[in-house]
Amino acid sequence: MAMIPASSVVRPAPTRTDVASGGAVARELAPKAVVATRSKAAVRRQLAARSGGTYIGEMLAERDSALARWHDQKGVPLRVWIQPKSDIGEWRSTYVTSVRDAFLSWDAVQLPVRFAFTSDSANADVHVTFIDHFDEPISGRTKWARDDDWWIIDADIVLAVHHTSGRTLDDEAMKAMALHEVGHLLGLDHTEDLTSIMAPRVRVRELSIADRATARLLYTLPPGGVR
């Protein structure tokens, strides 16, 4: 996904290594599910009334006026498997804790989608794996599958140990990258707001008020086109 220009935004001092995301990539389409009754006009009214303080408008522009999200899980968490070991040079076991902490931060937002961790990769809904580096100047990528009605049904995250420059991500940068990619997994897209974790080049290390507000609004709306 192309970087969103941010030339009009005052950039914070580069006190920490920035990490960049490759964005979310729709991996495949599942067979068409039963179409839920929905009113696009009602969705537009909700967006007009409640989108303040969010970047959901940027998401709609990015996705041709469509939203993607998971079904409400009704108390059953998505099972997350995080690769526990790697022979990648300079990989560290503390990365696993950083990634877990990222999922827990999103879990604290209390969306209808929650997370639990499993050591059984075959039994997981979400897989997080590590690679040495991407050929592009990014440090993470999320791939998800959706059905024809824009319900997300499957997702995987890949995180790089090294930036393309060769620098090794520290634990703090790994958590930030994981926070960003879990946002994509939930259905969020990039924002020009550099104070949010969903900026394409991540400069912050925690979820912003706008990140939380956008996710909460998304999960009160049905998926699909709003036009």
How many angstroms from the chain centroid is the CA of residue 102? 11
The pLDDT value given to residue 1: 36
Beta strands in 36-77, from DSSP E residues, in sequence order: 66-67, 69-70
The pLDDT value given to residue 19: 64
Distance, in Å, from the CA atom of 139 to the CA atom of 67, rounded to the nearest integer, reads: 25
The pLDDT value given to residue 110: 96
Which ranges of the chain have pLDDT less than 50?
1-17, 28, 31-37
Partners of residue 78 on adjacent β-strands: 115
Beta strands in 56-211, from DSSP E residues, in sequence order: 66-67, 69-70, 78-82, 115-117, 126-131, 140-146, 151-160, 201-202
The pLDDT value given to residue 6: 31
How many angstroms from the chain centroid is the CA of residue 144? 10
* CATH topology for the 39-221 domain: Collagenase (Catalytic Domain) (3.40.390)
The pLDDT value given to residue 39: 85
For 125-159, the pLDDT digits (tens) are 999 999 999 999 999 999 999 999 999 999 999 99
The pLDDT value given to residue 21: 74
Phi-psi region of 47 (alpha: psi -120 to 50; beta: other; left: phi over 0): alpha
**Residue ranges of the domains in the chain?**
39-221
